[in-house]
Amino acid sequence: MKLSSNYIFFLLLVFIACKDNTKKATKVTPVKLIVSDTITINGDSKNVSTRKTTYLCYWDKYDNNILYSNDFKDTKQFTYKIPTKIPVVLRDIDVLGGVNYVLLPGDHISVSSNPQHELLKLEVPKDSIRNNELDFFCALSKDRNKFVSYQMVAAMKFKWPQNEVFEEYFINYRYDNYDFVAKYGEAKYKDELLFLSNYTKSKKISKQMQGIFTDMIFFKYTANRLKLDLTLLTKNKLADSLLERDIKLLGTTATKANYLYLEVFKHALLYYLQIRQEQKQHPINTLIKQDFTGVTRDYLLFDVVKKAIAGRTYTTAMLDSFNKDCTDQDFKTEISKNLELISPAKKTILITSTGTKITYDDLISQNKGKVIYIDFWASWCMPCIQQMPYSLKLHHDLEKYPISFVYCSMDESMSSWETKADGLGIGTENSFLVSNNFKSTLAKGFNITTIPRYIIINKAGKVVSVGGYLPNQSSTKAYLLKLIETDK
């Protein structure tokens, strides 16, 4: 399928609203970088009485999912620090469908619960404007049953649980009815813009944040339209004019606008590239360099290489091209680190945060005469994060004994490992990233296919447990102390 030659796909500085009954395009000023480098989030179980746990996450610059988990049964307080100079979209994934909170560099956030519903309340003390902004998506979620789009689906006698989960079901499985799904998406887009307009009339928020909310609503709508187009395109059921119209939703020329902190924006970009690949017009790198500039082009070039490294499909020519075309040194550094993690080696390499490399045999030798408790984990692993406070407490309780606690991350990215390890308070001593992660000889030797996994080695260097003795089990501490008294 070939599009008419008159369309050009640009980067985003001023986005253009969809072609509907309105004639005016919505203009939004791009978010400027803010000179600050940390967001602080504080919580206390006394203030989160309606929740037993909290699961908060965000996506960093390198598309690593950074997860923060807290179990209030044992950890009464928590503090998270997010290093950033641009806004962060934090998502509460402990509620059905999830809820977003837009955080700004320099924010000091307190977390509490609302006795009227299960959603968390994030606040900046003594800042009513920021609190109105932080509450926007909670209010949007609670008010959804009043939307025209809600009524459209309800009229079709679908069960509607008032969250994004059903929308995903609807978008994913109703593609054959293109007209209805398109109208539903358009109605939902208008509903949310109208809600935002009414919200700003009753609640004071900054123009910057109003622009961010408008962007998020728009890019989500655009991503869903392009996703629908991609599905129908693969089935040869999509007219050129419809595809061209939807692609034009993504905007005009820009080189400095930074929307990459919005996952929905990146989703729209990636669906667009898949559509272009489906048309088989050009190689993906050619499309990226042809259609994008600035920070967005650098991100997309990075994304292609990162995925190729993860899938072990990269080539030397691909890496050379990336290093030549990408202007973002952070992306180049991240790719170099990711390559280092999958470098072939007869023995598994364990890498420290300073770049020091040792082997598993070196680890055993360095801890000769000690009992070793190895915690295999990853930043994306929720069960691992749940167990980590217990693991660290066990370490603290036994620090006077000849026991070494070793933390081995199975992450594919050094940046996600370093960020999460620092946030959890693991420290740098005996903390390693496992090269080749699950494909390493170490993982294969211990048959590690899932995590968390806890390996115990006695003072003689012999493996005595390869699966049991979780940190939160009382028997683990007793077993480790028993091993200290045993010579073999």
Task: Return d(Cα 354, Cα 352) in angstroms, integer.
Answer: 5
Give the fold, CATH level 3, of 349-484: Glutaredoxin (3.40.30)
Query: Interior CA angle at 370 toward 366 and 374, to 5°?
Result: 80
Please report which helix (H) or strand (E) contains residue 208, including its range.
Answer: helix 207-234
Task: Return d(Cα 75, Cα 391) in angstroms, integer.
Answer: 13
The 3-state DSSP class for residue 182 equals: helix
How high is the pLDDT of residue 274?
84
Task: Return d(Cα 50, Cα 113) in angstroms, integer.
Answer: 6
Domains of the chain, by residue range, sit at: 38-127, 144-294, 295-341, 349-484
Residue in the block written with tokens 């030397």: 316
How high is the pLDDT of residue 63?
87
Contact call for residues 102 and 89 (beta carbons, < 8 A): yes
For residue range 212-254, list pLDDT tens digits in order: 999 899 888 888 888 887 877 766 665 555 556 666 656 443 3
pLDDT in tens, the chain (488 residues): 443 333 333 223 223 223 333 333 333 333 333 445 888 888 776 666 666 777 888 888 888 888 877 765 556 677 888 888 889 999 988 776 688 999 999 999 988 876 666 778 899 989 999 999 999 998 998 887 777 777 776 666 555 444 444 455 555 545 456 677 778 888 889 999 999 999 999 999 999 999 999 989 988 888 888 888 787 776 666 555 555 666 665 644 333 457 888 888 888 888 888 887 777 667 888 888 888 888 889 999 999 999 888 777 888 888 999 999 999 999 999 998 888 776 655 567 888 888 888 888 898 889 989 999 999 999 888 889 888 989 999 999 998 999 999 999 999 888 888 888 888 888 888 899 998 888 888 888 888 888 999 999 998 888 888 877 899 888 999 999 999 887 55
pTM over the 0.75 mark: no
Question: What b/e readout covers 435-457, taking b as 16+ CB neighbours within 10 angstroms?
Answer: bbbbebbbbeebebeebbbbbbb
With CA atoms as reference, report the closest residue to 171 among 112, 180, 63, 475. 180
Question: What b/e readout covers 369-392, taking b as 16+ CB neighbours within 10 angstroms?
Answer: ebbbbbbbbbbbbeebbbbbbbbb
Q: Which residues, other chains included, contact 168 with Cβ-Cβ below 8 Å and sequence gap of 6+?
A: none
Please report which helix (H) or strand (E) contains residue 337, including its range.
Answer: helix 329-341
